Copies of this chain bind each other. A is one copy, B any other.
Amino acid sequence: MHSAEEISDATGAVSTGSDDTLSSSATTNRKTSTTGANGAEGPIGVKKENKRSKYRHVAAYHAKVRHSSLTREPNVTASFLGFRNLMVIVLVAMNLRLIIENFMKYGVLICIKCHDYRKQDVVLGSILFALVPYHLFISYLIELTASKQAKQVVGQRKRNGSAEAAERDQRTFRLTWWLSAFFHCINTLLSLGVTSFVVYFYIHHPGIGTLCELQALIVSFKICSYAFTNRDLREAMLNPSMESALPEIYSSCPYPRNITLGNLIYFWLAPTLVYQPVYPRSSHIRWSFVAKRLFEFFCLTVFIWLLSAQYAAPVLRNSIDKIAVMDVASILERVMKLSTISLVIWLAGFFAVFQSLLNALAEVLRFGDREFYTDWWNSSSLGGYWRSWNRPVYLFMKRHVFSPLVGRGWSPLAASTVVFLVSAVLHEMLVGIPTHNLIGVAFAGMMFQLPLIAITAPLEKIQDPSGRVIGNSIFWVSFCLVGQPLGALLYFFAWQAKYGSVSKMGV
């Protein structure tokens, strides 16, 4: 109707009225009768009230100066919302085409019975999986001993409050801490070391190995957090002061009342790596919520498996020759083909674990704080991404590595470097040990984050939205489109070089 209004504005008495309804007949049913009636009166019987000229071929459609909407002129703003829809449609169409192409090339590659794993892998994996949590029990025993000793000190102090006694208490406390720290270290190293050794040398299947290694890492994180937190709680009890005020949420379970097996088991199961004597809790369990999340998790797992078997595996297999002869154009083509698939797998995997699984677990445990991630997809810097995609690990690193180091006078840059160094070692363990190839790619990838963070940090602060778009694009390209598929390709190549056969999993 826009142009008709403009024309009638410009031509005064000569209105083109409802003529703009060409090809939008459905919208003009209301007007049809009026127009028809006018028409029936013939060219002579036009009513005075109707300002329409009887001469229809003379309407001045070009009545004023106007700009094309794509010309950059002041006062001309164009909306491009339609192109957003087009992008989605083209993406869907391009990927549908690739699905058809893949089907015509390979047929159906999915095969449930073809999956080969050795019996030894399953047995060893199950034993490891069952044994690792006992390390948490050992750390409980260590803390129980330490807490008993602390209670004893507090009891003695009531009877004998001299300065000399306080001095002696302090010494005792330090000795207790060093002893318990020593045992905690042994405990953690044993947990990680035994698991890594068994996985690296005796569990061939990379999937089973990854699960075992992941559990050992999580348990180690939890032991560390449990030990550090209880150390500080103990010291706060021994030296009550304004400065050592504890969070109010802990007041319902003061030290050492939190050193119970039940409290530890809750921490073991809870979707967090940061120990707190008390957590915010939800009021009740919504079982329908749990069911929905588990259903999501199941569907996404199947989806990821289909993608890996049908789409990722052929791409990986076809790229072996090209990597071997270092054909750069072909490697680039393979990385790009893999990048879309690995991106979808990554997004699905993220949703499956951080949204579906952790939310289901939290709901069952009535764990209140569900912020397992924030909107990392909008990150305008790599730093923003690492702060937001995996909150459990981020919070652990912040509370037990970064913050204490800064408290001791380290610069934030140095403390961040330590955090990424620790993270790089753990990533290499998590990827390199189950694939039996400690080739250092995961380590290097994590360390490479530091310069990327430094480069993108200024972009985050630019007020103009284009800075944020550039930062966000650098994040997506470096992380999801280059980093991950390249890493997957290199570990797959190393696996092939070592074992010579193609894993049916395609990992």
Contacts and interface: CB of A to CB of B under 8 A. Distances in A.
Interface string A89-126: 11101101100110110000000000000000000000
Interface string A41-73: 000001010000111111111111111111100
A242 B57 CA distance: 17
Interface in A452-488: 453-454, 457-458, 460-461, 469, 472-473, 476-477, 480-481
A256 to B, nearest CB: 14
A70 B369 contact: no
Given A27-B461, A67-B370, A87-B88, A82 B412 contact: no
Interface in A19-54: 19-28, 31-32, 35-36, 38-40, 46, 48, 53-54
A386 interface: yes
Interface residues of A, number: 158
Nearest to A68: B370
A246 interface: yes
A409 to B, nearest CB: 3
Given A39-B407, A473-B89, A375 B332 contact: no
Contact of A48 (B82, B242, B453, B476): B242
B333 A66 contact: no
Contacts of A235: 55
A500 interface: no
B91 A28 contact: no
Given A24-B412, A82-B476, 20 more contacts: A19-B402, A21-B406, A24-B457, A25-B454, A31-B412, A36-B409, A40-B409, A48-B243, A58-B232, A58-B233, A58-B236, A58-B246, A61-B398, A68-B354, A68-B359, A71-B370, A82-B378, A87-B87, A88-B473, A97-B336
6 contacts: A23-B387, A26-B383, A55-B232, A57-B232, A62-B369, A66-B368
